[in-house]
Amino acid sequence: MTEKKNKLNKLEKQWILYDVANSAYTLLATALLAFYFDFLSPSNSLTSAWGAVNVIVTIIAVILCPIMGTYADFSKKGTIFLLFAQIGFVGCAVMSIFGAFPDWKYSGALFLITYIITEVGYTSANVFYDSMLSDVTTDENMHKVSANGYAWGYIGSCAPFILCLVVYVLGWLVFPEYLGLAFSACCMITALWWIIFTMPLVKNYQQKHFLPKPKHPIKETFSRLSKIFKELAKNKKALFFLFAYFFYIDGVHTIIKMAMSIGNDLQFENFGTIKLVIALFVTQIVAFPFAILFGKLASKYKSTSLLIVCILAYTAIGVLAVFLRQEWQFWAMAVGVGMFQGGIQAMSRSYFTKIIPAEKSGEFFGIYDIFGKSAAILGVGLISILSAIFPLAEGTWINISLIPLPILFGLGLVFFLLSMKIPASADSPEGGKIKKN
């Protein structure tokens, strides 16, 4: 009876499919879009230029996420979700145009503008997608569904990316004169995948938890936005969790964003682009079964305990990075990240859903995404500054520029332990109840 009860229903599976949809773009952006930009607009400092663009994207996301999240709670979550998802996958498709005109002097600039718009659509759609979790599943099944979303996102995104990688390698090694068209094909393949796996959720989603729509929803959105920060100040459990999330997810995002450049800068012998991409695949493949495993473990063990395990594991990975000097250590890091990446992201999302009011999930997830997206600047910024002073390639006995990693996870653990000691708010799903999760 319990097994049947916990079996994923149709809507839960359709919600998971959107993780499969947008994760394809995540993998494309992580592995290839920086090289695409460098192809269109060659630069002596790709890391600096690409980093500056992503800071702009982050700032826009930090401003938009809470506004859109608050507005979504007025029974329009599905509509706005589709709007931003469309901006994302249409933008991804438009990026394919510029590879056909690599010599046009405006291609690089227009590509960057389109990339920023695509990222805004991708990021904003995720705010609504995350907040839909309380509508598509039950409190008992929340951790499992969240974990399966990340798990199938990891493995599902590999399918279109393998095709993209074949096209890219053919363009790079066999037909270099058609490399621009290879990049174009990668963007179009990813956009089509994104569209196809978005439609089932759009077709069947219905918002269950929402606030009555006021006469002036936009004006009320800004009014509620100021109130939600005041409410968050009273909900100490959620507030301290968000501080914890800010630090430890910053470490996670920093590893994701910087792994390719770290592997490149360490200059292992015979360790080029192909091995870096293979390492990325290893992480994705390992992440799939372990994300599902964490979803199952959440039905037997406290999610707080599982989150502590994930944070401690990432702290150990951060320490390993500081002493990273051999290729086998890099592969060990790739496997370690895969083992705990899905767990820490899925448990965070579902745990936060449990400690906030369900009818205000949109605006609370808008704040959640502020902490998550703005965190991406801190670790990347610190490592970029320190690596300019202490280059990884110089071969010192420790990687001084990577010291921020274990510190970030340590701070995240401290705030999370503080959050655990605070009782849940009365209007959250856990308020007034005694639960193991």
Q: What is the pLDDT of residues 214-244, one digit of tens each?
A: 666 666 666 766 777 777 778 888 899 999 9
Domain spanning 5-9+12-208+216-420: which CATH class is it, in words?
Answer: mainly alpha
Lowest mean pLDDT across 3-12, 139-148, 383-392:
3-12
Residue-range domain boundaries for the chain: 5-9+12-208+216-420
> What pLDDT, in 10s, does the model give residues 75-109?
677 888 899 999 999 999 999 999 988 888 888 88
Write out the two tokens for 278. Answer: 């293979």
The rounded distance, in Å, linking the Cα atoms of 422 and 431 is: 11
The rounded distance, in Å, linking the Cα atoms of 121 and 383 is: 28
The alpha carbons of the chain give a radius of gyration, in whole angstroms, of 21
The rounded distance, in Å, linking the Cα atoms of 111 and 40 is: 8
Give residue 133's identity as a one-letter amino acid code.
L
Other Cβ atoms within 10 Å of 226 Cβ, number: 10
Query: Is the whole-model pTM more than 0.85?
Result: no
Give residue 255's identity as a one-letter amino acid code.
I
> What pLDDT, in 10s, does the model give residues 428-437?
555 544 344 4
